[in-house]
């Protein structure tokens, strides 16, 4: 048995406040997650020998650190199934981009293998397996736009207006742990309520507390953010960083507006390449995306 072309969508953080730190070192956050249609794709081939392996290697990610394999082993241990799986992964979500690619991949593994193996776990049970894999993994199992608190595990569904996004990855990858361990990270933002968030235009609400640290440690991200903001200023849209970076994004009312902005940005970049100009930052990715109301696999979990 197989499951092919299974999506793992990226997310953006509409805001991100660091409100405290637990004695064990984990940071307490408030944030809002939204899925976008930039997706990794996974493939699953059932193995009768009980083995779990990957068909594609991730550069710089040894098997013991691969969240897809860790998720599969976690489900196998929790359910006692003797079935195994071979996992293939096509990466489109940038690594070290703040878009939750690894976390989304892990969640898709839990959801897909729960179906392929017939283990029948509920959403709540899968979310319990998801949290030890990473703070962002539970929201992808939760499957809806969410207001999140705690270390990311306290989730409340929110209904967001239809929006599109221009997503851009500067020429950098940012390790999350480095940002959260920085001594100058703000850790005392005031608590807000879900009502505060919903009462404000979503993109204008709050800030990303991680931005100042990332901009200090990675000046190429700061330069890219300033340049992108200047290009988009005539459109009246702001630029924000997602998660711990390095990806930046801007919100638009219509996908056509995001596509037009992408076309203009990439044209400027192509012109800069031809003239060997040093005045424009480099981007690894510039993509127009649609905001999703829910995870593509939300209905794969029966209860």
Q: Compute CA distances 226 → 74, 215, 263, 280, whole Å.
A: 42, 10, 19, 11
Q: What is the reported pLDDT for 20?
A: 97
Could you list the mean pLDDT of each consecutive 10-residue stretch along the chain, which spans 303 residues? 97 97 93 98 98 91 94 99 98 96 98 98 98 97 98 94 97 94 96 92 85 98 97 94 97 97 92 62 96 97 85
Query: In the chain, where are the structural domains located?
Result: 1-302
pLDDT of 274: 56
pLDDT of 204 reads 76
- The position carrying tokens 């361990």 is 181
- Say if CB 152 and CB 139 are below 8 A apart: yes
Give 1-302's CATH code, choosing from 3.90.1640.30, 3.30.1330.10, 3.40.50.80, 3.30.230.10. 3.30.230.10
Catalytic machinery residues: 11, 136
CB-CB contact of 66 with 58 (8 Å): yes
- Residue 79 C-alpha from the chain's centroid: 27
Give the whole-angstrom CA distance, residue 216 versus residue 204.
23
Q: What is the pLDDT of residue 200?
A: 83
User: For position 303, what pLDDT does the model report?
Assistant: 77
Q: What is the pLDDT of residue 59?
A: 84
């Amino acid at each position: 048995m197989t499951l092919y072309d299974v999506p793992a969508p990226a997310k953006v953080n509409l805001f991100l406040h660091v409100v405290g730190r637990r004695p064990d070192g984990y940071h307490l956050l408030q944030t809002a997650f939204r899925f976008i249609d930039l997706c990794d794709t996974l493939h699953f081939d059932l193995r009768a020998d009980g083995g779990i392996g990957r068909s594609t290697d991730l550069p710089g990610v040894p098997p013991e650190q691969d969240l897809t394999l860790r998720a599969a082993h976690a489900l196998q241990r929790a359910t006692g199934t003797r079935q195994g799986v071979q996992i293939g992964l096509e990466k489109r979500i940038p690594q070290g981009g703040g878009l939750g690619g690894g976390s989304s991949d892990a969640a898709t593994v839990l959801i897909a293998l729960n179906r392929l193996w017939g283990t029948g776990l509920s959403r709540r049970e899968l979310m319990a397996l998801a949290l030890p894999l990473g703070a962002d993994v539970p929201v992808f199992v939760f499957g809806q736009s969410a207001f999140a608190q705690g270390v990311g595990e306290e989730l409340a569904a929110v209904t967001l207006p239809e929006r599109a996004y221009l997503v851009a990855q500067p020429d950098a990858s940012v390790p999350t742990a480095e940002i959260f361990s920085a001594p100058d990270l703000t850790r005392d933002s005031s608590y807000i309520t879900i009502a505060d968030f919903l009462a404000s235009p979503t993109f204008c609400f709050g800030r990303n507390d991680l931005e100042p640290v990332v901009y200090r440690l990675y000046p190429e991200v700061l330069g890219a953010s300033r340049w992108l903001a200047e290009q988009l200023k005539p459109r009246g849209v702001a630029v924000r960083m997602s998660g711990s970076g390095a990806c930046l994004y801007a919100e638009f009312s219509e996908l056509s507006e995001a596509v037009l902005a992408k076309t203009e940005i990439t044209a400027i970049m192509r012109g800069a390449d031809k003239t060997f100009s040093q005045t424009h930052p480099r981007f690894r990715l510039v993509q127009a995306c649609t905001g999703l109301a829910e995870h593509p696999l939300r209905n794969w979990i029966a209860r």
